[in-house]
Amino acid sequence: MVHVRILVTLKPSLLDSAGRTVTGALDNLGFSEVEDVRIGKAIVVRLKEYDEARVRAMCDKLLANPVIEDYQIEVLG
């Protein structure tokens, strides 16, 4: 078994309203060193065997919206 973590975030050119809200909240809590926060999602998939092309196809077809989101694939363990 292979575990793959897929990190999905909005493209940098798009406004991340949730990230902006968290940035402001952290500043209000005294964490003034935080310049920006981007909110995304992490998806862990357990595979029988790893095939990068197949995982990218999963991302492009269902797990991420390639028009507005970027993703990174990380093989775990």
CATH of the domain at 44: 3.30.1280.10
In one-letter notation, the amino acid at residue 44 is V
What is the greatest pairwise CA distance in the chain?
46
Q: What domain count does the chain have? A: 1
pLDDT band at residue 77, thresholds of 50, 70 and 90? confident
pTM over 0.75: yes
pLDDT in tens, 9-39: 999 999 999 999 999 999 999 999 999 999 9
Task: Identify the domain containing residue 44 by its residue range.
Answer: 2-76
